Amino acid sequence: MRVTIKDILARKGSREKITALTCYDYLTARILDEAGLDILLVGDSLGMVMLGYESTVPVTMRDMLHHVKAVCRGAKKSLVTADMPLGSYDNPAQAVRNARRFMKEGGADAVKLEGGARIRKQIESLTAAGVPVMGHLGLTPQSASQLGGYRVQGQGRREAEAIVRDAVLLDRLGVFALVLECVPAQLGAKVTRSVRCPTIGIGAGPKTDGQVLVTQDMLGYETKVSPKFVRRYASLGAAVRKAAKRFSEDVRRGAFPAAQESY
Q: Tell me: do 202 and 252 sit in the same domain.
A: no
d(CA 251, CA 132): 51
Partners of 80 in beta bridges: 40
Q: Tell me: do 248 and 142 sit in the same domain.
A: no
Q: What is the CATH number of the domain that holds 128?
A: 3.20.20.60
What's the predicted TM-score (pTM) here? 0.95
Residue 4: which of 42, 32, 39, 34 has the closest Cα? Answer: 39
Q: Tell me: do 22 and 106 sit in the same domain.
A: yes
Q: Tell me: do 74 and 192 sit in the same domain.
A: yes
Show which residues are catalytic. Answer: 181
Q: Tell me: do 196 and 211 sit in the same domain.
A: yes
Question: How many separate domains does the chain show?
Answer: 2
Q: Tell me: do 191 and 247 sit in the same domain.
A: no
Q: Mean per-residue pLDDT for 36-41?
A: 98
How far, CA to CA in Å, does 41 sit from each of 37, 53, 164, 178, 179?
A: 10, 19, 23, 13, 11
Q: Mean per-residue pLDDT for 111-121?
A: 97
DSSP 158-187: HHHHHHHHHHHHHHHHT-SEEEEES--HHH
Residue ranges making up the domain that contains 42: 5-232
Tens digit of pLDDT for each residue in 130-181? 999 999 999 998 987 677 777 899 999 999 999 999 999 999 999 999 999 9
Q: Tell me: do 241 and 208 sit in the same domain.
A: no
Q: Tell me: do 119 and 246 sit in the same domain.
A: no
Q: Tell me: do 94 and 130 sit in the same domain.
A: yes
